Amino acid sequence: MNESSQTVGRPDPAASSALSLSLVIPAYNEGGRLDDGVARLRAAIAAGAIAPETTEFVVVDDGSTDDTTARAGALFSSFPHVRLLRLPENHGKGGAVRAGVAVASAPIIAFADADMAIDPGQVPQFVLALAEADLAIGSRAASGASVNRPSLRRSLMNRAFNRLVNTLTNVSLDDTQCGFKAFRAPVAKLLFHCSVTERFAFDVEILSLARKFGLDIAEVPVQWLRVQGSQIRPWADARSMAGDVFRASRGAASATPVPTLAVKTPGAAAPEADTSSWGAALFRVLPPGLPVLRGSDGGLLVLCPLMSDPEVEATATRIIERCPGAALERNAMTVARLCELAPLSLTWDDDTISPEGAARAPR
């Protein structure tokens, strides 16, 4: 997240532990459309699809020049868990979503467009898909999807864009640009750390990285309603989006290596030690949403994506203080190295994700 961004309404740690879903909502000059989007959210809440008591709403104002921040503050003021971020300048949708993912604290992280063109009442379907997959993406092309008020010009652009994407990448998906995607939290934080595309084609890079990391992608058919006032300019943005796709496919843009903490378990030096209880203690110490890989030596490699140096150091200190016998080595891992380790199997604790949306903690 941009260091000079402003955050309002940050929940306390005790509240964060009860969360099941973080919904990131990027918004750029959306002051005039937020009312309708929040009305759709409230309808989903009334239908029981979203539980506000366990849902964190992360609204990211991407350097708007209108009253987006003030309007969002008023509309979301009645929700119990809200984070309102304002970026000092416009970064693009990908940059705004990345900022939201960086601060999200629930075990499932999703993002949705501010107009809620994808029916938010479908959240349980995405949560159910994450019981078997690492990420779940909405698809307007999947069997069972419905598109109301279609635009011929936009439909043609989407088809051409997806054809280009599948030609240049190994994504092999029919709808990469649908505005609702959900992730297990460690997956979201890792993918967004490793991505650099900030504008509308960021979805392509995220999905391409997921394929390279060997992650499972589920497609969820969605109900989509075209809403007037979209920020996408079908023809004006086509060239820049095509350029982003090309750069993502060639790996021209390099991401910052992911900070890592290699943790040597006591069991590696003392076989008689209770490594299961030690491992459980480690997971209790880690900030929510950190991906963890198991090493071939029996140790654990804690990845620290989207974290500042002080945050990484604080995590290392907590591990040393609260996990007796822990030995740490700080390093970093490149995207290329992560690809070599694919398929990645991120280690979470033993709690499960329920279809009802009561996601507790990653597996």
What values do phi and psi take at 41, rounded to 5? -65, -45
Task: Please report which confidence band the pLDDT of residue 142 belongs to, taking 50, 70 and 90 as the band edges.
Answer: confident
230-281 pLDDT tens trace: 555 555 666 677 777 777 666 555 789 999 999 986 655 444 445 556 667 7
Q: Which residue would you say has higher pLDDT here, 142 or 58?
A: 58
Task: Please report which confidence band the pLDDT of residue 44 belongs to, taking 50, 70 and 90 as the band edges.
Answer: very high
Q: For strand 258-264 and strand 300-303, is the pairing parallel, antiparallel, or unpaired?
A: antiparallel
Nearby residues of 265 by Cβ (< 8 Å), 6 or more positions away: 273, 275, 278, 279, 298, 299, 300, 325, 326
In the chain, CATH 3.90.550.10 covers 6-250
What is the Cα–Cα distance from 349 to 363, expressed in whole angstroms? 5
The three-point CA angle 114-60-164 to 5° equals: 65
6-250 belongs to which homologous superfamily? Spore Coat Polysaccharide Biosynthesis Protein SpsA; Chain A (3.90.550.10)
pLDDT score recorded for residue 359 = 34
Buried b (16+ CB within 10 A) or exposed e, 17-48: eebbbbbbbbbbbbbebbebbbebbbebbeee
13-24 pLDDT tens trace: 455 668 999 999
What is the Cα–Cα distance from 336 to 212, expressed in whole angstroms? 9
Question: What is the CA 140 to chain-centroid distance, rounded?
Answer: 20
**Above 50 in pLDDT, residue 352?**
no
pLDDT score recorded for residue 232 = 56
258-333: what fold? Alpha-Beta Plaits (3.30.70)
pLDDT score recorded for residue 3 = 37
pLDDT score recorded for residue 248 = 66
Question: Over the chain, what is the mean pLDDT?
Answer: 83
In the chain, CATH 3.30.70 covers 258-333
pLDDT score recorded for residue 77 = 96
Task: Please report which confidence band the pLDDT of residue 1 belongs to, taking 50, 70 and 90 as the band edges.
Answer: very low
Predicted TM-score of the model (pTM): 0.86
**Above 70 in pLDDT, residue 211?**
yes
pLDDT score recorded for residue 288 = 84
277-309 pLDDT tens trace: 666 778 888 888 899 998 777 788 999 999 999
79-112 pLDDT tens trace: 999 999 999 999 999 999 999 999 999 999 999 9
Nearby residues of 361 by Cβ (< 8 Å), 6 or more positions away: 107, 348, 349, 351
